[in-house]
A and B are shown apart, each in its own frame.
Chain A
C-alpha cells in the first residue's frame, strides 16, 4: 500500500515556501499573478494502515504546534485538481528526509518498506505559464520527478534486480570513426589518440576490454582526474613547454624550498607546519559543471567533496573552516535574455548559496571566507569554488599502503548518483546538457559525512589504518586505482553496500555517490576498526585487498570483470599535445576624466555586485561553529563591514592563528592574463597581511578556470597566468601548496560558443603569530590619522571605475614585486607592534571604496586630501588617485601618538598621511575628499554610501 501524508502549515502560520515560490515566479519572468500554497509530506509504502500512519505522523513526522496533516491513499482518486503540482526526488536520488523517516518509523515498529519526501503546491495563476513555473521555480528536471494533478503512483519503484552479464566493448575491430563514436556514445570523453592507445594495448592482450575497464581508463585519463592539458606538452607560439604545471607552479615551490612546507602537490590537500604540534592543510576545489545543472546539488556536493579532501589528507585532518567563491552572471538579468537550457543567474546564486549553507552548516564547519565575481560571461558556466582547511597532529601527513591491507569503504551507500561526473566535467556544456547529464548530478547528505568525519579522526588517533582517500570524481575506480597505483588491488564489487538493487558491476565501480571514503586497513586492525564504525553508526565494508601484483583486478561474485595493469592505467596515456598562442588585445588608452565631483561614481561602484555587501550570504553560513573564529567575515560597529580576511584559531588554548583570504578578478583576465594572475596573488596576500598574518608564512592555492584548452588563444592566456604565478610566488616567497584546474568552461548553443573569461582564484592561508594583535578594516575612533601605503599608478584597465563609466581598454594593474614584499613585511611589523588601529586593503574601486568602507563600517567619518597620495607621474589626476586599482596598497588608521613609530617602520616605502578620521558635526558623519587642487571630489554621508552598498544583495 502507498500512502500520501500531506503536511500543511497550520492556519495561523505563514506559508513561507509558498510565498517564496510566488515571489521567485515573478522574478523568473512569470508575472502571474500567482497564489501558491505549499505543503510538505511523505509517500509511505508498506503494510501499515492509514491509522498507523496518522499515529506516526502525530508521534514524529508532524510538528504539533505549527502544522496540520492528512493521510490519503495512492493512487489518488481523480479530481479536478490539475493545478496541484507534486515534486519529489527521482527514484535513486538521495533523499535524506525519506531515509530518516524510513529508519525512525522502522525503529518505532511501523510496517514500512519505503518512504520518499514530497512537496506539493496548490497553484492559482495563468494555466499557460504553469509548465514554465514548474521548470523555473518548483522543480529541477535533473533530480526531481513531477506529478501534475492527482498523485497517480501506486508504488515508489526503487529499482529492479540486476542480472549479471559481462559486457565487452569490441574496440579491436573498430576503425577511427567507430572509436570516436564509441567514446562519444559512452560519454567517455576520450580523444581518438587515446582510444587508439587503448585499442593497441588490448590488441597486445588479444582481447577486447570490458565496459568496466574502458570506464576505468576513461576516468583515470579524464582532464578532471589527470589534468592532461596542464601536465602535457604545449607549443606556445613556437616554444615547447613540457608539463606547464611542473615548470611554473611546482617549480616555484621547489625553488623556494621552505622548511615549513610539509606535503605539497602530492596529497588531497597541501600541508604546512603550523606549530610544534600541529600541521594544517588547505584545498580548494571547483564544482562548476554540476552547479550549472543543479545549483543546490552541485554546490552541496562541491563543499562535501572538498571537506572529504581535507579529511582524506595524510592520515586524516579535522576540518576547521570552509571557504566559498562564486562567479555568476548579473542576478538582475532580464529573464528573456536567457539562452535555452540555462538557469537564471539569480536562481543559480540562490541555489549555490543554499547548497553551501546546507552542507557546511550541517557539517559544523564554519564558512569564513568567500567572494562573489559577477560577469555576463558566467551565464551558462557559473563557477563554484569551495575550500576546506584542516588541522592534523604533526607526523600524520603521510600515508602508505602495504600488501595484504584490506580495502575498506566507509560512509554512504552506492547508488547511481553522478555516474560520469569525471568525464562530464571535462566537456563543454550544451543546451541539451541539462537533460543528458542529469545523472551526473549528485545529491549530498551531510550528516553521513559528519559521522564519517567523527570516525576517521578517532580511528586516526587509534592508528587503525595506514592510508585513506575520498571517493570523489570516479568513485571507487579512482580512489582504489590511486591508492593501489604502486601496488595492485583485488576488489569484490558485490560487497559494496547499495542504496537500491539493480546496479551493474560497472555502475558500482564508477558511481560517484557521496560521503564515501576508502581506507587501507591492516588486517589485524579490521575488527577494531569495524567495531568503532559500528559504535558511531557508520557502515564499513571490506571490499578486497591491496596486493603486490601491479594489477587492478575487479571481480563480481567471483567472475573477473576487469583486469588492468596499473602502469598502463596510470602511465599509459599518450601525452596531450596542444598549441597555445597569445595576442594581447589592441592597446586602447583610458583618458581619466577631468576633476569633478565623483560621489556618484563612488556610489555606483559601492553598488557593484563584486563590491556590495555580502551579508545576505554570510549570515546564512554558520561562521562561528567550533568557536575558533576570532576575526569574523563581518566586522565593524554594526558587525556588517567587509573584513579583508577571517582569522581562526586551529589549536585550542593557543593564540597562534590562521588568516584565510582570496583574490579573483576576471576583468583583468580579459585584458592581460599575466597581470591578472599577479594582481589576484597580490590581493590574496594583501588581505591576509591586512589582518595581521606574517607575509613570510603565507601559502597559496591556485584554481584555474578557463574555457576550452583546445583553442590556442585560450590556452595561451592560461600559460601566461601560470607563468605569472611562478614569477610572483618566487618574488613574494609565497609557495603554492595545492591547486586544481577546471577547463572546458564553455557553452555551445546553435553553433555559437560562450566561454568564461580567464578566471584564476588564488586562496591564501597565512599564519598570525598572535591573534591579539589582529586588525580589522573599520575605523575605530575620530581624531586618528589616516595613512595610505603604496603607490597609485594610472591603471584603469579592468577597473570598476572604467566599467561604471563604460570605458573600454586601459592597462591592467601590474604588481611591482620588490615594493610589494617590502610593504607587506613592514606593515606586518607595524601591526604586530600594535601601531595600527585599522587596516584595509585597496582593491576594486581603489582608495575611494576603501575609505568609504572603513568609514561606514566604523561609523566614523573621514576627511582626506588626495594631494599627498603617493603616485607616479602619470597618475596626477583625482579620478586616478580615487579609483585606480594599483596593487600592494593599504589604508591605515593610526593614533596620533603612534604616527612617528609607524613612519619609522614604513621608512623607504611609498606612504603618506592623507587626513584624519572625524566625528559627526551637526549631522551624520561624512566622508569628505579634497582633490589635488583643493576642490571637493567626494562628499557623502556614511548612510548614503552604506545604503548603496547594502542594496544589491538585500534579498
Chain B
C-alpha cells in the first residue's frame, strides 16, 4: 500500500501545523502543509490526499469566535470538495482549533440536518494548559482503535462541547461517538475540574461523525509523540514506553488506510 498522503491545512493564525505534520510523518504518512488560500483556489487538489488535518491555533485570530471565520471560508469555498473527499473514504482530523472549525462548519457531529453545536468557553472562564487523562471508546473511529487510557495536553479557552439539544449528545454517547472522554485518576469519565478541564457534559473530549472518519478533539496528540513530552518523564522513565500516547491516534489512521 502506498504511503498515505496527508494535507495539513493552515490559515492565518494556525500555529500547530508543523508539529502536526511531523506527527503524521512519524506515523508513516507523508504530510504536506497547505495554506487555505491555495486550496480554495484549487479545491480539486484535495483529491490527491487521503487525510485532511485541521491543526490547532487561532485561525483568523478567533476574532468572531473560535474557528468561525475559517469554518465560514471552508463551508463556502470547499463544501462540495469536502463532501466528495469524505464520501470516497477520506479521513478528517481536527485538533483543538481544528475541532472548533469542524463543529462550526457542521461536519461535526455531522449528519443531514446537523444539530447546532458549539465549543463554549471553559467553565473556569480562562485559557487552560494542562495534561488530562482520556478514556477511549474504540471501534467506531479509525483514529481511536485502542483500549488503554491516554494522557495528552490540552491548551484552550473554549472547549466545552455543547449541542443545542442535549438529547442529541446522549444519542452520540449511546452510539459510542464520544470516542474520547476526560477521565479521573481511576480512569472513569468525569465532570470534575481539572480532570475535565472545560466542563464538557458527558466528559466529551473528542467526537466523531456517524462514519467515524471525521474526528475532532480538544487535546493535542501531536504534542505527545516522544516520551520526553510527558510532564513527568523524569519520574516515570521507561514506564512511558518508546513513544508518546498521541502517536496511537496517527498510527490508527495510517493503519486504517493501509
Chain A residues within 8 Å of B, Cβ to Cβ: 13-14, 16, 20, 59-61, 63-66, 96-97, 99-101, 104, 107-108, 357, 361-364, 445-447, 450-451, 454, 535-537, 618-627, 629-632, 634-637, 639, 649, 652, 771-772, 774-776, 778, 780, 838, 858
With both chains docked as a complex, state the minimum distance between the C-beta of B83 and any C-beta of chain A, in angstroms.
20
Per the bound structure, the CA–CA distance linking A108 and B117 in Å amounts to: 22
* 6 A/B residue pairs, CB under 8 Å, sorted by A: A13-B120, A450-B58, A535-B37, A626-B18, A626-B19, A630-B229
Beta-carbon contact of A61 and B64 below 8 Å: yes
Give the residue among B13, B19, B129 with the most A Cβ atoms within 10 A.
Answer: B129
Which of B12, B35, B153, B234 touches A624 (beta carbons < 8 Å)?
A: B153
- Residues in chain B near residue A630, CB distance under 8 A: 226, 228-229, 233
Per the bound structure, the CA–CA distance linking A535 and B131 in Å amounts to: 36
- Residues in chain B near residue A99, CB distance under 8 A: 63
- Residues in chain B near residue A537, CB distance under 8 A: 12, 37
Within 34-56 of B, Cβ neighbours of A (below 8 Å) are at 35, 37-38, 56
- Residues in chain B near residue A16, CB distance under 8 A: 121, 125
Per the bound structure, the CA–CA distance linking A368 and B120 in Å amounts to: 27
Beta-carbon contact of B231 and A632 below 8 Å: yes
- Residues in chain A near residue B64, CB distance under 8 A: 60-61, 97, 100-101, 104
- Residues in chain A near residue B18, CB distance under 8 A: 626
Beta-carbon contact of B118 and A63 below 8 Å: yes
Interface assignment of B61: CB less than 8 Å from any CB of chain A: yes
The count of chain B contact residues (Cβ–Cβ below 8 Å) is 53
Per the bound structure, the CA–CA distance linking A627 and B128 in Å amounts to: 16
Given contacts A104-B72, A771-B228, contact A447 B12 (CB under 8 A): yes
Within 61-98 of B, Cβ neighbours of A (below 8 Å) are at 61, 63-65, 68-69, 72-73
Beta-carbon contact of A60 and B60 below 8 Å: no
Per the bound structure, the CA–CA distance linking A104 and B14 in Å amounts to: 18
Interface assignment of B177: CB less than 8 Å from any CB of chain A: no
**Nearest 9 Cβ contacts at the A-B interface:** A364-B15, A100-B63, A447-B61, A64-B116, A627-B19, A65-B118, A16-B125, A622-B155, A447-B13
Beta-carbon contact of A65 and B231 below 8 Å: no
Which of A363, A364, A622 touches B129 (beta carbons < 8 Å)?
A: A622
Per the bound structure, the CA–CA distance linking A515 and B156 in Å amounts to: 24
Q: Please give 9 more A-B residue pairs, beta carbons under 8 A apart, in addition to A100-B60, A625-B223, A629-B229.
A: A60-B64, A97-B63, A100-B64, A363-B15, A537-B37, A619-B127, A626-B18, A626-B19, A630-B229
- Residues in chain A near residue B223, CB distance under 8 A: 624-625, 627
The residue on B at minimum CB distance from A64 is B116
- Residues in chain A near residue B234, CB distance under 8 A: 631, 635, 774-776, 778, 780, 838
Interface assignment of B186: CB less than 8 Å from any CB of chain A: no
Interface assignment of B184: CB less than 8 Å from any CB of chain A: no
- Residues in chain B near residue A778, CB distance under 8 A: 234-235
- Residues in chain B near residue A620, CB distance under 8 A: 126-129
- Residues in chain B near residue A634, CB distance under 8 A: 231
Which of A14, A96, A627, A780 touches B61 (beta carbons < 8 Å)?
A: A96
Per the bound structure, the CA–CA distance linking A638 and B26 in Å amounts to: 30
Given contacts A639-B130, A774-B234, A780-B234, contact A364 B120 (CB under 8 A): no
Per the bound structure, the CA–CA distance linking A771 and B129 in Å amounts to: 22
Beta-carbon contact of A66 and B130 below 8 Å: no
- Residues in chain A near residue B235, CB distance under 8 A: 636-637, 776, 778, 780, 858
- Residues in chain B near residue A771, CB distance under 8 A: 228
Beta-carbon contact of A635 and B120 below 8 Å: no
Interface assignment of B4: CB less than 8 Å from any CB of chain A: no
Interface assignment of B225: CB less than 8 Å from any CB of chain A: yes
- Residues in chain A near residue B12, CB distance under 8 A: 447, 450-451, 454, 536-537
With both chains docked as a complex, state the minimum distance between the C-beta of A837 and any C-beta of chain B, in angstroms.
9
Beta-carbon contact of A535 and B38 below 8 Å: yes
Within 224-250 of B, Cβ neighbours of A (below 8 Å) are at 225-226, 228-229, 231-235
Per the bound structure, the CA–CA distance linking A775 and B220 in Å amounts to: 25
With both chains docked as a complex, state the minimum distance between the C-beta of B246 and any C-beta of chain A, in angstroms.
9
Per the bound structure, the CA–CA distance linking A771 and B63 in Å amounts to: 38
Given contacts A66-B118, A96-B61, A100-B61, contact A450 B15 (CB under 8 A): yes
Beta-carbon contact of A65 and B162 below 8 Å: yes
Beta-carbon contact of B222 and A627 below 8 Å: yes
Beta-carbon contact of B229 and A65 below 8 Å: no
- Residues in chain A near residue B123, CB distance under 8 A: 14
The residue on A at minimum CB distance from B246 is A627
Interface assignment of B16: CB less than 8 Å from any CB of chain A: yes
With both chains docked as a complex, state the minimum distance between the C-beta of A361 and any C-beta of chain B, in angstroms.
6
Beta-carbon contact of B228 and A65 below 8 Å: no
- Residues in chain B near residue A622, CB distance under 8 A: 127, 129, 155
The residue on B at minimum CB distance from A621 is B129
Interface assignment of B57: CB less than 8 Å from any CB of chain A: yes
Beta-carbon contact of B13 and A362 below 8 Å: yes
- Residues in chain B near residue A66, CB distance under 8 A: 118, 120-121, 162
Which of A60, A357, A637, A639 touches B68 (beta carbons < 8 Å)?
A: A60
Interface assignment of B163: CB less than 8 Å from any CB of chain A: yes
Per the bound structure, the CA–CA distance linking A107 and B77 in Å amounts to: 12
- Residues in chain A near residue B220, CB distance under 8 A: 624
Interface assignment of B209: CB less than 8 Å from any CB of chain A: no
Given contacts A630-B229, A639-B231, A774-B234, contact A624 B69 (CB under 8 A): no
Per the bound structure, the CA–CA distance linking A104 and B120 in Å amounts to: 21
- Residues in chain A near residue B125, CB distance under 8 A: 16, 20
Which of B16, B65, B73, B231 touches A63 (beta carbons < 8 Å)?
A: B65
With both chains docked as a complex, state the minimum distance between the C-beta of B225 and any C-beta of chain A, in angstroms.
7
Per the bound structure, the CA–CA distance linking A97 and B125 in Å amounts to: 19
Beta-carbon contact of B228 and A104 below 8 Å: no
Which of B22, B118, B121, B222 touches A64 (beta carbons < 8 Å)?
A: B118
Per the bound structure, the CA–CA distance linking A649 and B18 in Å amounts to: 14
Per the bound structure, the CA–CA distance linking A20 and B121 in Å amounts to: 14
Give the residue among B120, B163, B235 with the most A Cβ atoms within 10 A.
Answer: B235
With both chains docked as a complex, state the minimum distance between the C-beta of A460 and any C-beta of chain B, in angstroms.
16
Beta-carbon contact of A619 and B130 below 8 Å: yes
Per the bound structure, the CA–CA distance linking A334 and B187 in Å amounts to: 45
Beta-carbon contact of B16 and A364 below 8 Å: yes
With both chains docked as a complex, state the minimum distance between the C-beta of A423 and any C-beta of chain B, in angstroms.
31
Per the bound structure, the CA–CA distance linking A780 and B63 in Å amounts to: 44
- Residues in chain A near residue B162, CB distance under 8 A: 65-66
Given contacts A65-B120, A619-B129, A624-B129, contact A362 B72 (CB under 8 A): no
- Residues in chain A near residue B69, CB distance under 8 A: 60, 100, 104
Beta-carbon contact of A101 and B63 below 8 Å: yes
With both chains docked as a complex, state the minimum distance between the C-beta of A133 and any C-beta of chain B, in angstroms.
20
Beta-carbon contact of B117 and A637 below 8 Å: no
- Residues in chain A near residue B155, CB distance under 8 A: 361, 622, 624-625
Per the bound structure, the CA–CA distance linking A6 and B235 in Å amounts to: 51
Per the bound structure, the CA–CA distance linking A451 and B125 in Å amounts to: 28
- Residues in chain A near residue B56, CB distance under 8 A: 625
- Residues in chain A near residue B126, CB distance under 8 A: 620
Which of B37, B57, B226 touches A364 (beta carbons < 8 Å)?
A: B57
Which of B35, B63, B118, B229 touches A627 (beta carbons < 8 Å)?
A: B229
Beta-carbon contact of B35 and A535 below 8 Å: yes
Binary CB contact string for chain B from 202 to 228 against chain A (1 if under 8 A, 0 otherwise): 000000000000000000101101101
- Residues in chain A near residue B121, CB distance under 8 A: 16, 66
The residue on B at minimum CB distance from A626 is B19
Per the bound structure, the CA–CA distance linking A776 and B236 in Å amounts to: 12
Per the bound structure, the CA–CA distance linking A66 and B126 in Å amounts to: 17
The residue on B at minimum CB distance from A631 is B234
With both chains docked as a complex, state the minimum distance between the C-beta of B158 and any C-beta of chain A, in angstroms.
10
Per the bound structure, the CA–CA distance linking A632 and B153 in Å amounts to: 12
Beta-carbon contact of A63 and B120 below 8 Å: yes
The residue on B at minimum CB distance from A100 is B63
With both chains docked as a complex, state the minimum distance between the C-beta of B15 and any C-beta of chain A, in angstroms.
2
The residue on B at minimum CB distance from A628 is B19
Per the bound structure, the CA–CA distance linking A625 and B20 in Å amounts to: 11
Per the bound structure, the CA–CA distance linking A451 and B11 in Å amounts to: 9
Per the bound structure, the CA–CA distance linking A96 and B129 in Å amounts to: 24
The residue on A at minimum CB distance from B156 is A622
